[in-house]
Amino acid sequence: AATRKPVASHGEQRVDADGDGPDDRRDGRAVSQTAGAAMSREERWALLAAADGDELIELADTCLAGAREFTVTAPPRAGCVTAQVRDPVRRERFLLGDVFTCSAEVELDGTRGWAMRLGDDRATVLAMAICAAAADPEQAAAVEELCRRVAAREAEREHAEWAELAPTIVEFEEL
């Protein structure tokens, strides 16, 4: 039996990976390169989870247009997943509660893709699974490009948030 390990995703989302991920590579690295370094499967999932639904659906349509075979192995389904977090002070894990998610699994040209997102957007989670399964070099490059755009947007959003908080920071001096 395969052991399952927790894999961090975007925000508070958690997914389980047992080595059979969207790109079916056991080393956990995505097929293509990002800025000279391989993007891990977890990073790719996190960025796809943060992507806009319309972007994912458009990219999934492009991937399907070039596909030879496509099968939905597990149709989108909604359900609850227990969210586990780590207390930042005591460094202990605890169960935060249940979160509402939607998941799906597909096979695109022999490569499996799995996705889970918060909420009940079935079309978007199916599109995310299709993007996760993209193994054709051209399709994988398009998925990586989407991930880079999402990462840039997330970094910009975080920078803006810190810029807004900066004036409220209290600095103490030692006497």
At 37 the pLDDT is: 63
8 A C-beta contact, residue 136 and residue 111: no
Q: What is the pLDDT of residues 70-102, one digit of tens each?
A: 999 999 999 999 999 999 899 999 999 999 999
Tens-place pLDDT, residues 106-145? 999 999 999 999 999 999 999 999 999 998 888 999 999 9
Residue among 87, 85, 6, 97 nearest 45 (CA) = 6
147 CB burial (10 A radius; 0-12, 13-18, 19+): buried
Distance CA 41, CA 164 (A): 32
User: Residue 65 and residue 145: Cα distance in Å, rounded?
Assistant: 18
The angle, 0 to 180 degrees and rounded to 10, between the axes of the packed helices 53-65 and 122-133 is: 50
Choice between 142 and 11, residue whose per-residue pLDDT is larger = 142
What whole-number distance in Å separates Cα of residue 152 and Cα of residue 21?
A: 24
Q: What is the DSSP letter of 168?
A: G
Tokens of 30: 């995505």
